Amino acid sequence: MAAVTETLDTVQSVTQSGYKWGFETTIEMDFAPKGLSEDIIRLISTRKEEPEWMLEWRLKAYAAWLKMEEPHWARVDHPPIDYQDLHYYAAPKKRAGPKSLDEVDPELLKMYEKLGIPLKERAILAGVDPDTVEDRQVAVDAVFDSVSVATTFQATLRKAGVIFCPISEAIREHPDLVKQYLGTVVPTGDNFFAALNSAVFTDGSFVYIPKGVRCPMELSTYFRINARNTGQFERTLIIAEAGSHVSYLEGCTAPQRDENQLHAAVVELIAMDDAQIKYSTVQNWYPGDANGKGGIYNFVTKRGACRGARSKISWTQVETGSAITWKYPSCVLHGEDSVGEFYSVAVTNNHQQADTGTKMIHIGKGSRSTIISKGISAGHSNNTYRGLVRMLPGAANARNFTQCDSLLIGDQCGAHTVPYIESRNPTAKVEHEATTSKIADDQLFYCRQRGLSEEDAVSLIVNGFCKDVLKELPMEFAVEAQKLLAVSLEGSVG
C-alpha cells in the first residue's frame, strides 16, 4: 500500500508544480555547428578520438542514410524534421578527464541530486526502505548530453571482469569486442533512424559480461537531453557471454523545452548460450505542454539477439514521456529454446503520440516469447501497439503468447492495436489477445465510495491495470514507475 500512498502524494505535488523535472543546468556547452555532413561526422569521430575504422563505419552508415527516406508508416504526426537544423555534437566543456566524483562538475552533481540519482557508492535509490532491501547496489553510468561524465562502481565490476563504460571509451579500449559486435544486431542500414544514429552517435554504454559471470549489481544509465536543439544519438551495446547474467536499467528525464528535440538511439543486446539480459527502461522525457507544444521526438531502435541456446532477453519499458515515441524493442530468437520477453506500459496524455510494440522473430527450435503490452491513452493523445510475431520454418515447437490491453480515458483520445502474426511452422503456437476498454464505472464507484477522489481512483485502477508489467521492473524502478503513471495522467479526469 506504501507505493499507492506515494502515488497519491506525487499526484498532489505535481498538480501544483507542473513538470517536476523541467529545469535547465547552466554548464557551458561545446557545440558542433548545426547540420549534418561528412565533415561533421569526421569532427565527431575526431572529438571522440576514434580509430580510423570507426570513422569509416560511420561514413558508410551516413552514405546509406542519404539514400533512405524517413519512414511514415507509424501512426504519428509531426512537422517535417529538418535534419540540417540540428546540432549533432554537444558536450559539456571538458576539464581533464575526471578520475573521481570530486572532480565532476559540481553543477552536474547538483542536477543529479535534484533528479534523485545517488551517484555515491553503495547508494540505494530514494524511496526504498533500506531495512527491507538487501544492500542493493546500483552502478550508474551517467550520460549528460553526449559525454559520460561519471562512472561509478568500476572497481567492483572490474573485479568481476565486467566491462561497463561509455561506448566511446570501449571503442578506444576494447576495439576488438566493439568491432566484433557493433552493428551485428542492428546493421547500419537497418532503418532510417538507425542509419542516422550509426553515422552520428556520440555516446551510450558498453557492457561486456564474461562467461559464467553474474553481474554483481544492476547496471544503470541515465540519459538526459540538455542542450537546446541537440539531437541525442545514444548507442548502447550489451554482450552477455555464455552463462552470464546482467540486468540493465535505463531511465531518463529531460528539462522543459519549447522546441522539439530529436532523439534516435540504438540499443543492441547479444546473449550467448544460457545468458540472460534484462533491460528495463523508464522513459519520461518532456512530453510537450498541454497544448502539444514542444516535447521530445523519440525514434528508437532496440533489438536483442538471443544467439545462444537457452539464452534469454527481456525488455521491460514504462513509457510515459516524449511527444512522439517510435520504438519497437525486439528479440531475434536464433538459439534453441531461447526466450524473448516484452513487457510494456505506454501512457499518453494531452497531445502525446506513441507508436510502440515489439518484434519477436522465432528462428530457433523451441524458442518462446511473451508479449504483455498495456496502453493507456488520455487527453487528445494517440497510443498504438504495433507488433510482429514471426515463426520461421525452423522454429519447431516455438511458442508465443501476446496480450495487448488498451485503456481509454476521455473521449478525445485514440487507442490502436496493429499486430502482425506470421507463421510458417505448424508445430509453432501463437496466441494473441487484445482488448480495449475504458475504466469500468463499477471500479470507479467502488473507489469513490471509499473516499478516494476521482483522480486518485483512476491512478489506483491504472496501476492495477499495469501490474503485470510493473512487477517485471527492478524494484528501484517499480516505485518510480508507479509515480510516473500517476503524474502522466494528471489532469486527464474530472
Partner 1 sequence: MSTGASGFLERFEGVLGKLPGDSALRAAAAAAFRASGLPGDSRGRRIEAWKYTSLRAVADAKFQREAAPRHEAETILAGLPLLDAPRIIFVDGAWRDDLSAIAAAGFARFAQQPDFGTLTWPDREPMVALNTMLAEDGAVLDVPADHDGGVVQLVSIAASDADFHPRHSVRLGRGARLTLVEISVGQGTYLLNTVAEIHVAEGATLTHIRLQDEAASAFHVSTTYADVEAGATYDSFTLNLGARLSRTEVHAQLTGKGGAAHLNAAQLLAGSQHADFTSVVGHTAPGCQSRQTVKNVLAGKSRGVFQGKIEVARQAQKTDGYQMNQALLLSPFAEVDSKPELEIFADDVKCSHGATVGELDAEQMFYLRSRGVPEAEARSILVRAFLAEALDAVADETIRARLEAAVEGWWERQAA
Closest approach, Cβ 465 to partner 1, in A, equals 14
Q: Amino acid identity of 208?
A: Y
What lies within 8 Å, CB to CB, of 276 at 6+ separation is: 240, 244, 245, 246, 311, 312, 313, 314
- Please provide residue 263's backbone torsions phi and psi, each rounded to the nearest 5 degrees: -135, 125
Q: Which of 342, 333, 340, 341 is nearest to 396 (CA)?
A: 333
Between strands 147-151 and 138-144, the pairing is antiparallel
Burial class (CB in 10 A: 0-12, 13-18, 19+), 82: exposed
Nearer Cβ to partner 1 (103/433): 433
CB of 241 to partner 1, least distance (A): 34
Q: How far is the CB of 399 from partner 1 (least distance, A)?
A: 9
The nearest distance, CB 329 to partner 1, in angstroms, is: 20
Longest dimension (CA), the chain: 68
CA 319-299-71 angle, to 5 degrees, is 130
The total number of residues written for the chain in this structure: 494
CB of 489 to partner 1, least distance (A): 14
Work out the number of other CB atoms within 10 angstroms of the CB of residue 67: 8
For the bound state, the minimum distance from the C-beta of residue 409 to partner 1, rounded and expressed in Å, comes to 7
Query: For residues 72 and 450, which CB has a smaller minimum distance to partner 1 in the complex?
Result: 72
| CB closer to partner 1 out of 185 and 378 | 378
E strand or H helix at 314 = strand 312-319
Q: How far is the CB of 467 from partner 1 (least distance, A)?
A: 19
CB of 345 to partner 1, least distance (A): 18
Interface contacts to partner 1, rule CB under 8 A = 73, 391, 393, 406, 408-438
DSSP 46-96: HHTT--HHHHHHHHHHHHHHHT------SS---PPP-GGGSBS-EEEPPPS
Instruction: Pick between residue 474 and residue 491 the one whose CB is nearest to partner 1.
Output: 491
293/432 with CB nearer partner 1: 432
First to last CA, the chain: 24
Identify which of residues 77 and 431 has a Cβ nearer to partner 1 in the complex. 431
In the complex, the smallest distance separating the C-beta of residue 211 from partner 1, rounded to whole angstroms, is: 36
Query: For partner 1, which is the closer residue by CB, 244 or 423?
Result: 423
In the complex, the smallest distance separating the C-beta of residue 396 from partner 1, rounded to whole angstroms, is 9
**Least CB distance to partner 1 at residue 251 (A):** 30
Q: Enter the C-alpha cell of residue 77.
A: 504526426
Sign of the CA dihedral running 71, 73, 74, 78 = positive
**Rounded to an integer, what distance in angstroms lies between the CA atom of residue 203 and that of residue 193?**
16
Asked if 364 contacts 396 with a C-beta cutoff of 8 angstroms, the reply is: no
Q: For the CA atoms of the chain, what is the radius of gyration?
A: 22
Nearer to partner 1, 307 or 399 (CB): 399
**Cβ proximity to partner 1, 2 vs 440, nearer residue:** 440
Query: Which of residues 87 and 399 has its CB atom nearest to partner 1 in the complex?
Result: 399
CA–CA distance from 341 to each of 78, 196, 265 (Å)? 30, 27, 20
Q: Hey, is 354 helix, strand or coil?
A: strand
What pairs with residue 326 in β-bridges? 299, 355
Residue 144 or 465 having the CB closest to partner 1: 465
CA distance 394 to 364: 6
